[in-house]
């Protein structure tokens, strides 16, 4: 235990005697020093003394599905920087190859009396109803960024998926494309459902019957292989342009097109979603809907801090528009 106290003292930048005074509830310790010691206890995984467990820790959980998707990495980096500026300590929790789940991370965060949680591209509901109930009962400040499912009573920050889809479709239509397909995420993924609603509205304005446009929609996992696998069925429907629900899907569609001997954009135009890092450097550079990652991350942190300080409503919804970035993966309809 003495060794661990030394670790806490080193992290907090104080003496072991000061740590001892905080642990024993003694006077003579300033409020900032006391908070630094408590935060060091949380970081080092040492339970707070019983009398101090009712206080929120400065730790903030960042729960993301994975870091292979570049946009999740971008959100994580932006959130970590902004939390640090607020004096909060981010704890990154992501799926790993050994199958660590949201439920495991939430249990760990609750043991540390976490100060709040930001879910990116996921939802606390993914961890199961029991963990969701505990989070609500404890009043843990939470913000969902582009949540994968519907949630009520939780602050949310997201993009207008329907509008983003319609902007991409309008771009391809202006280039002369008439048969435009869409590759979405798995069934039940709410952002994909919103993009589908945008597709339905766009097709409705063009007089395309539902039974017709539904044949132009494919569903896949959010991977490059998912996009490549989804493409052949759309090509069989005669599409000359494809709008995808993520950049990874779009890159997979481009790979699948090349497997079919097609050129992008000469034979097939492709639009992605996210404007992940390096999309400007792909071959061809990808036309994609850019999420305002920095602005969304700032809004999420502000909403979280507002809850921590008792100033914000947990039901707030902040919606952002995307920006269509036109690059080399789209061109006029092939003759």
Residue 127's pLDDT is 57
Mean of pLDDT values over 122-146: 74
Average pLDDT, the chain: 88
Give me 241's structure tokens: 């342009």
Residue 289's pLDDT is 98
Is the pLDDT score of 97 beyond 90? no
Residue 38's pLDDT is 79
Residue 129's pLDDT is 56
Is the pLDDT score of 73 beyond 70? yes
The DSSP annotation for 68-97 comes to SSHHHHHHHHHHHHHHHHTT-EEEEEE--T
Answer with the residue of higher pLDDT: 138 or 245: 245
Give me 215's structure tokens: 């044949």
Contact 246, 186 (CB under 8 A): no
Mean of pLDDT values over 167-189: 96
Mean of pLDDT values over 212-229: 96
Contact 222, 69 (CB under 8 A): yes
pLDDT tens per residue, range 232-260 = 999 999 999 999 999 999 999 999 999 99
Q: Is the dihedral of CA 72, 257, 242, 189 positive or negative?
A: negative
Answer with the residue of higher pLDDT: 23 or 168: 168
pLDDT tens per residue, range 108-133 = 776 767 889 999 987 666 555 566 66
Encode 204-243: b = buried (16+ Cβ within 10 Å), e = exposed: eeeebeeeebeebbbbbebbbebbbbbbeebbeeebbbbb
Is the pLDDT score of 30 beyond 90? no
Least confident span in 2-11, 216-225, 241-250, 284-293:
2-11
Contact 222, 185 (CB under 8 A): yes
C-alpha to C-alpha distance for 268 and 287, rounded to whole angstroms: 13
Is the pLDDT score of 273 beyond 80? yes
Mean of pLDDT values over 285-298: 97
Q: Which phi and psi angles does 4 have, rounded to 5°?
A: -70, -35
Ordered alpha helix ranges (H), the chain: 2-12, 16-23, 31-43, 70-85, 102-111, 129-137, 161-174, 190-205, 210-213, 224-236, 247-259, 293-308
C-alpha to C-alpha distance for 29 and 27, rounded to whole angstroms: 6
Mean of pLDDT values over 40-59: 67
Residue 51's pLDDT is 59
Mean of pLDDT values over 309-324: 87
Mean of pLDDT values over 95-107: 63
Is the pLDDT score of 264 beyond 90? yes
C-alpha to C-alpha distance for 181 and 135, rounded to whole angstroms: 40
Residue 53's pLDDT is 52
What separation in angstroms does the CA of 136 have from each of 60, 116, 119, 125, 314?
16, 12, 14, 11, 11
Residue 240's pLDDT is 98
Mean of pLDDT values over 196-219: 96
Answer with the residue of higher pLDDT: 236 or 86: 236
Is the pLDDT score of 100 beyond 70? no
């Amino acid at each position: 235990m003495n060794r661990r106290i030394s670790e806490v003292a080193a992290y907090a930048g104080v003496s072991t005697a000061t740590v001892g005074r905080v642990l024993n509830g003694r006077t003579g310790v300033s409020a900032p020093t006391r908070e630094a010691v408590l935060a060091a206890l949380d970081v080092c995984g040492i339970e707070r003394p019983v009398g101090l467990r009712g206080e929120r820790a400065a730790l903030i959980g960042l729960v993301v599905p994975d870091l292979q998707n570049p946009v999740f990495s971008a959100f994580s980096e932006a959130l970590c920087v902004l939390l640090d500026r607020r004096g909060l300590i981010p704890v990154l929790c992501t799926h790993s190859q050994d199958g660590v789940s949201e439920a495991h991370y939430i249990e760990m965060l609750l043991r540390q009396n976490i100060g709040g949680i930001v879910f990116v591209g996921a939802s606390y509901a993914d961890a199961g109803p029991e963990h969701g109930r505990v989070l609500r009962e404890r009043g843990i400040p939470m913000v969902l960024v582009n949540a994968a499912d519907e949630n009520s009573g939780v602050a949310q920050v997201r993009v207008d998926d329907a509008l983003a889809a319609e902007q991409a479709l309008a771009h391809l239509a202006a280039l002369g494309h008439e048969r435009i397909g869409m590759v979405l995420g798995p069934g039940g993924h709410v952002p994909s459902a919103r993009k589908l609603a945008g597709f339905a509205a766009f097709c409705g304005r063009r007089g395309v019957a539902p039974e017709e446009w539904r044949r132009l929609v494919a569903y896949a996992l959010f991977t490059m292989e998912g996009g490549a696998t989804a493409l052949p069925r759309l090509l069989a429907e005669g599409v000359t342009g494809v709008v995808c629900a993520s950049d990874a899907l779009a890159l997979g569609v481009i790979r699948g097109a090349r497997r079919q001997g097609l050129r992008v954009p000469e034979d097939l135009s492709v639009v992605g979603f996210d404007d992940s890092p390096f999309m400007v450097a792909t071959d061809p550079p990808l036309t994609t809907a850019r999420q305002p990652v920095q602005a969304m991350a700032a809004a999420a942190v502000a909403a979280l801090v507002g809850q921590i300080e008792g100033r914000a409503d947990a039901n707030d919804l902040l919606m952002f528009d995307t920006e269509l970035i036109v690059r080399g993966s789209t061109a006029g309809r092939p003759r």
